A and B are shown apart, each in its own frame.
Chain A
Amino acid sequence: MSDRTVTTTVLTQVAARILLIPIFVVAIGIMIKGYVDIGDGFSAGVIASLGVALQVMVFGPEELTRLPVIQRAPKGTFLGLLIALLTAFVPAVRGQPLMTHWPPAGEAAIHFGTVEFITAVAFDVGVFLVVFGFGVGVTATLARAQERKSSMAGLFSRPGDAGEAGERS
């Protein structure tokens, strides 16, 4: 935001690159452990999208196109909403109140290790997808808007300001 043109240092770039995978691992971990420990799909979604935002801030918006998972995340918002809606409304079709989870209270659930497969977790995954898609989508939109703005910077500012948004130049 200052008048100097800011370039990211190699140190930042390396740190951002190295951190991406651990951030994702933490996010997934938080989501899976959600039912027994701190965190849930919402926090996981925010953490994962912060990881993506870090990449975009350091390397620019092209970074978004490199990983298919990230590229499709914004569309995932609606997939997530669909999953959540399904877990909410499928019970209604079966004559139960909305958001009745399966298996019912107290009954044993299918589990893999300590991870239990219950519809509440599916709902949480839906929440994760919505939040993650939202975070990535907003980051991407902002980053692209900045690129466009710097390409037509002359329209808005005096020549001296032209470089401010093109941080990587």
Chain B
Amino acid sequence: MTWVNDPNPALVVLIVALLAPLVTVILGFWDTRNTAGAAVATTAAAFAAAVWGAWNGDASYSVVWSETWGIRFEIHLDGLASMYAVLATGIGLLIAVYASGYMPLHRHHTGKRRADDVRFFGFLLLFMAAMVGLVMSQDLILLFVFWDLTAIASYFLIGYDSEEEESRTAALMALLVTGVSAVGVLVGALLLWSEYRTFSLPLLFQSAEPSTTVTWAVSLILVGALAKSAQFPLHFWLPRAMAAPTPVSAYLHSAAMVAAGVFLIGRIYPLVSLDTRVLDALIVIGGASMVVGGLVALTRDVFKQVLAYSTISQYGYVVVMFGIGGEYGVAGATFYVIAHAIAKSALFMTAGAVTEATGSARLADVGGLWRRMPWLAVGSAMASAGLMALPFTIGFFKDELFFAGADGRGQLIQWFAVAGATLSFAYIARFWAGIFLGPRQGDVQPVPASLVIPVGVLGALTVLGGIWVEPFRWLAEQAARVSFGEELEINLAYHLDTRTENLMALSVYGLGAVVLLTGRWWHQPVERLVKIGNRIGPARGYALALYGMNRLSDSIHDFEVRDLRSRIATILIPSGALVLLAVIYSPTQDTFRFTSIESGDLPLLLMLGVAAASGVMVVIPQDHLRMALTLSGVGFSLAVVYALLGAPDVALVAVLIETIFTVVFIGILVLIPRPILRYERNLRAPRIRLGRDAIIAFIAGSVAFVVVWSALSRPSASTTVIGRHIEQSPLAHGYDVVTVILADFRGFDTMGEITVIAIAFVGILSLMRAGRLR
């Protein structure tokens, strides 16, 4: 029992996390009243495992997944993984507590049943488990699997209230934006594989050199990462996703789903930092998100919208910091994620609690609640202070690192950093003050303690982090070392002097206060700007693309189901076009040539002539029987051609197939009522359709001719293969090469073919016996 005595922390963390949704769902199905309790307990276990794993850390586990493709199930609980696992499970635990109080109220509003809780908690914990798996993955394919698993879980969570159209649209949008961009991750992984023949990140970090391929691969992966982190211009899904129940928003959109994006940047950072252009692009994208998110957040009225845009803006910071790079950039980005996740999820939970208490979700409808909900006010005040980067909160240090990083990158970035921080100071202050200060507005109903306690805990953590920052610093340092790839130290302390960081922080407080106080002057213009952005922004592009693709799909479908002719055409036309493209784009050297005709070829030509003549005869109007027989005439003459070419096996099969085909054909003709046959025989197509059909037939025939010509006149590369087959046939106990090929060398093809025969047989039986002819 060495496993029990000396467990592998990486495996333990992953297994405990994966068990959480499983156990919760099983207990929930057993008795739906268990669900919330089971969710809290299993998440607590996962959190305990993650903390224990972070402490005992640096364990890895690796096993071959697919040898042929070099994919390994490779996980490593390094510093980066530990940090995100602790965040995902820790905040997950508080979310589970919060949800256990929130979901009964939500059920009450939406008329859902208790059994729906099982679905909710199941997907919430599945998300957590996928997140834990994602952060530990060391293999790009494994990482992609967990990545998509988070997308799927998020789809069901965002669309939890599936009876509302808004939820469904939002869920689909989140799935499409993050799922389609996830293809970028996969393509990037394949590009890296094509260059270095490995999916393993540690190996890639060792061997990757700056090159165009690597830059492309990294850029593609970053598209996926940035879309997941809701960065401009793929940010628009996040505000829509606020249609989800509040615990989902609080979890996915502060600590988990959006964090997965920046996690991925941190995970592949050694590759990202190979090309400074990629880093510069990160600064631009992150900066744009900072500004766009910040400006919009200042004008929103619905709580969760303010927070959603603030999340876009604040992950913009993280991306900018990764773009700035260097010791401070990476450390700052990593630390920022911790500080932001703690504080932002508290604010989301505050928003949910206030909405439950007052029945209102808008800043305009509430105010002065601090007297009525003092605990909530204090808890969220601490969290807000954290995001506003006030001293004695963990947030102060996040901005310190940001400013320190910007310090080395010139005045422009420095001003930008101050502007971004000012925006975030302003919108967070506006959010908190809008709810808890000002004239009293709104009726307050008591809310369960479980809606307030998590906010208090997170608020306390925010302040604790400002006073005793060591545990957070340690966690971030371990993580940043992994991203940075080298030794790195984060030093966090308060300095009472006039260093640049302090001056920048002071100017942020001053400017932020100015922005807040001058609201009535800038509110209108910014609002107008946002409206224009909505009209021409990327969200509109998404809507147009979705609408266009729906239209395209509908029109193809309508054409396809019209009749048998169009059904066949939808299959044959694209495949014919593809084959033609292949012929056009394959090298034409030594193809399309004629060889001389020898006198011995005369019988062959004669039989080919018969085949061609029969082919022409088929098109001449005649009765069905004659048509069937002429058609089989083509086959029989081709069989003779095979025989003349010295392929008796093929000739035999051709003769037999043609015979049985003709018999079955005639058998079917007999089944068709005589008047119908007679009617069809006398049917004449209109002249215009004859012309059209002739053109189509001419094109199709020409394409087929070109394809066959190019294939047959190409110097055969498979001669050697055939030679080897002939050589090895005796070894395989055979002397008839064709049979040995069919049963042995290419036996698997034959296997597929007879499976098709058996399936077709079942189809025929069910159609003829149970179908229309019954």
Contact = CB atoms under 8 A, between A and B. Distances in A.
Range, interface on chain A: 35 or more
Nearest to A122: B743
A156 B675 contact: yes
Contact of A142 (B625, B667, B736): B667
Given A57-B663, A81-B754, A146-B667, A38 B649 contact: yes
Given A1-B670, A139-B667, A148 B761 contact: no
A130 B754 contact: yes
B697 interface: no
Given A81-B758, A141-B765, A120 B734 contact: yes
B747 A157 contact: no
A134 B625 CA distance: 24
A46 B671 contact: no
Nearest to A108: B733
Contact of B739 (A1, A99, A124, A137): A124
A135 B669 CA distance: 17
Interface stretch (A8-16, A47-55, A62-70): A47-55
A131 B657 CA distance: 11
B649 A40 contact: yes
B503 interface: no
A165 interface: yes
B751 A47 contact: no
Given A38-B652, A148-B773, A105 B673 contact: no
A47 B659 CA distance: 10
21 contacts: A1-B624, A34-B739, A38-B648, A40-B649, A43-B653, A43-B656, A49-B660, A53-B663, A74-B761, A77-B758, A101-B732, A101-B747, A120-B732, A120-B734, A120-B744, A123-B743, A141-B765, A145-B773, A148-B773, A156-B673, A164-B670
B740 A35 contact: yes
Interface string A29-61: 000001111111111001101100100010000
Given A81-B755, A101-B744, A135-B660, A161 B675 contact: yes
B733 A118 contact: yes
A139 B773 CA distance: 15
Given A40-B742, A105-B728, A161-B674, A46 B757 contact: no
Interface in A95-140: 98-99, 101, 103, 105-106, 109, 116, 118, 120-121, 123-124, 126-127, 130-131, 133-135, 137-139
Nearest to B774: A148
A138 to B, nearest CB: 6
Nearest to B760: A134
A53 B660 CA distance: 8
Contacts of B653: 42-43, 46
A78 interface: yes
B354 to A, nearest CB: 61
Nearest to B623: A1
A145 B734 contact: no
Interface residues of B, number: 51
Contacts of B765: 74, 137, 141
Q: Which 8 A-B pairs have the closest CB atoms?
A: A156-B673, A142-B667, A46-B656, A35-B734, A40-B739, A99-B747, A105-B731, A120-B743
B738 A40 contact: yes
B644 interface: no
Contacts of B659: 46, 50
A124 B754 CA distance: 11
A25 interface: no
Given A46-B657, A123-B750, 18 more contacts: A1-B669, A35-B735, A39-B739, A42-B742, A46-B656, A46-B660, A53-B660, A101-B747, A120-B740, A120-B744, A130-B757, A131-B757, A134-B761, A139-B664, A145-B768, A149-B671, A149-B773, A157-B673
A85 interface: yes
A163 to B, nearest CB: 11
B750 A127 contact: yes
Given A1-B666, A39-B739, A124-B743, A158 B675 contact: yes
B768 A141 contact: yes
A84 interface: yes
Contacts of B687: none
A28 interface: no
A111 to B, nearest CB: 9
B283 to A, nearest CB: 52
Contacts of B666: 1
A39 B649 contact: yes
Contacts of B731: 105-106
Contacts of A109: 733
Contacts of B649: 38-40, 43
B597 interface: no
Nearest to A105: B731
Contacts of B754: 80-81, 84, 126-127, 130-131
Contact of B764 (A34, A39, A141, A156): A141
Contacts of B670: 1, 146, 164-165
Nearest to A128: B754
B751 A99 contact: yes
A88 interface: yes
Chain B contact residues, majority secondary structure: helix
A88 B757 CA distance: 17
Nearest to B649: A38
A86 B740 CA distance: 18
A1 B625 contact: yes
A138 B761 contact: yes
Contacts of A116: 733
A37 B649 CA distance: 9
B668 interface: yes
Given A130-B758, A131-B754, A145-B773, A123 B747 contact: yes
Contact of A43 (B652, B744, B747, B750): B652
Nearest to A162: B674
Contact of B757 (A34, A39, A40, A134): A134
B769 interface: yes
A99 B733 contact: no
B752 to A, nearest CB: 10
B748 interface: yes
Nearest to B758: A81
Nearest to B669: A1
A133 B739 CA distance: 20
Contacts of A39: 649, 652, 736, 739
Interface in B658-708: 659-660, 663-664, 666-671, 673-676
Contacts of A106: 731
Interface string A17-34: 000000000000000001
A164 B668 CA distance: 14
Contacts of B768: 141-142, 145
B558 to A, nearest CB: 32
A77 B298 CA distance: 72
A3 to B, nearest CB: 8
B305 to A, nearest CB: 56
Nearest to B676: A156
A1 B768 CA distance: 21
A27 B252 CA distance: 68
Given A53-B663, A99-B751, A145 B671 contact: yes
Contacts of A103: 733
Contact of B732 (A49, A88, A105, A135): A105
Given A137-B761, A141-B764, A165-B670, A40 B732 contact: no
Nearest to B648: A38
A147 B634 CA distance: 31
A108 to B, nearest CB: 9
Nearest to A3: B674
A131 B669 CA distance: 22
A130 B755 CA distance: 9
B676 to A, nearest CB: 8
Contacts of B769: 141
A123 B734 CA distance: 14
B578 to A, nearest CB: 29
A74 B766 CA distance: 13
Select the residue from B735, B736, B760 with max chain A CB neighbours within 10 A. Answer: B736
